[in-house]
């Protein structure tokens, strides 16, 4: 099945370069009308020019596609609302949102300024929330929407010197989980992409031969799958160097230990059993944990 996006309208944030640019180009090449958003700042978020977004929009138009440029900061909700309206005024709808905008302010947590922590969270998490909120009523009204969050292996698994980035990126997964549940009855599918790609945000972090394998283009197929009408929902797809995996937040089978005075000691002694991953599950929603715990308690009571 060819993944076709004809008639679809997409917004891609942080699309002035790197991975976002590749996302925008790929969607346009497959028929989507694309609003290219980029503040035009440096990797750390400083500065702002509209030139990067315009250059990508021009590139799409030169190839025969349809595109508009937008220089809004995703941290500014009013500007984001105006960005969405720009797409609606031009094309009448918004079908796809790829939340890709981000910055880095890396330092070890001991040396990190909390203003840098807050700014990274503001761009990645609040930026994704602002953009998702702005398109949400449109997608509800048309009973169709595809939202792709950009998470990270740092958010999923941690990385030295990136406490702010990791916190913001895993928070996007939490946002995805709930929006997917709330959007289901309106045909809105929400997923997360964890890319490994060589961009200006990773420059200097790896040898050149490794970076060459991690071309951003290799990640794009995963975005296309998650943004397409056939997309799953509540799925975390990891992608890099032409390989694809899925990440899951799971719940182990665990143990029932009751509420006795010695439960702390029992738990300490049997923690390895609690962490044993055989038979782990992926709960359908947050209440799944509580239901599982109640079942363990009921089973223990029935066995007495």
- Integer angstrom CA distances of residue 155 from 91, 166, 174, 215: 35, 4, 11, 21
- CA separation for the pair 79, 189 (Å, rounded): 24
Residues 6+ apart with CB under 8 A from 223: 23, 26, 98, 148, 193
Report the DSSP beta bridge partners of residue 35: 11, 68
- Integer angstrom CA distances of residue 111 from 93, 102, 108, 162, 290: 45, 21, 5, 11, 38
Tokens of 55: 């250059």
72 contacts 130 by C-beta, under 8 angstroms: no
- Integer angstrom CA distances of residue 124 from 115, 117, 119, 182: 14, 11, 9, 21
Report the DSSP beta bridge partners of residue 36: 12, 69
Counting Cα atoms < 13 Å in the Cβ hemisphere of 142 gives 16
Tokens of 66: 């349809």
157 part of the active site:
no
102 contacts 155 by C-beta, under 8 angstroms: no
Radius of gyration of the chain, Cα coordinates, nearest whole angstrom: 21
Helix residue ranges, H only, 75-194: 77-91, 114-121, 127-142, 153-157, 163-183
Pick the catalytic residue from 144, 157, 165, 256: 165
Residues taking part in catalysis: 165
């Amino acid at each position: 099945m060819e993944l076709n996006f004809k008639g679809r309208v997409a917004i891609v944030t942080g699309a002035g370069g790197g991975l976002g640019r590749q996302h925008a180009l790929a969607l346009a090449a497959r028929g989507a009308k694309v609003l290219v958003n980029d503040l035009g700042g440096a990797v750390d978020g400083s500065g702002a020019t509209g030139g990067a977004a315009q250059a990508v929009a021009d590139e799409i138009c030169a190839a025969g596609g349809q595109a508009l440029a937008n220089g809004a900061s995703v941290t500014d909700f009013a500007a984001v609302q105006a960005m969405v309206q720009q797409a609606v005024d031009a094309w009448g709808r918004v079908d796809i949102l790829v939340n890709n905008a981000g910055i880095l302010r890396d330092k070890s947590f001991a040396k990190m300024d909390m203003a840098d922590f807050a700014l990274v969270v503001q761009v990645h998490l609040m930026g994704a929330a602002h953009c998702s909120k702005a398109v949400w009523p449109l997608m509800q009204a048309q009973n169709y929407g595809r939202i792709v969050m950009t998470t990270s292996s740092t958010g999923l698994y941690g990385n030295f010197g990136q406490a702010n980035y990791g916190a913001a990126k895993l928070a996007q997964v939490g946002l995805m989980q709930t929006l997917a549940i709330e959007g289901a009855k309106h045909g809105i599918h929400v997923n997360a992409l964890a890319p490994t790609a060589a961009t200006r945000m990773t420059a200097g972090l790896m040898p050149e031969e490794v970076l060459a394998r991690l071309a951003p283009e290799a990640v794009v197929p995963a975005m296309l799958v998650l943004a397409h009408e056939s997309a799953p929902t509540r799925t975390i797809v990891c992608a890099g160097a032409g390989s694809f995996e899925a990440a899951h937040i799971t719940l182990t089978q665990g143990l029932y230990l009751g509420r006795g005075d010695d439960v702390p000691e029992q738990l300490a002694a049997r923690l390895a059993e609690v962490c044993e991953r055989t038979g782990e599950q992926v709960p359908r929603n947050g209440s799944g944990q509580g239901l599982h715990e109640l079942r363990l308690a009921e089973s223990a009571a029935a066995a007495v």
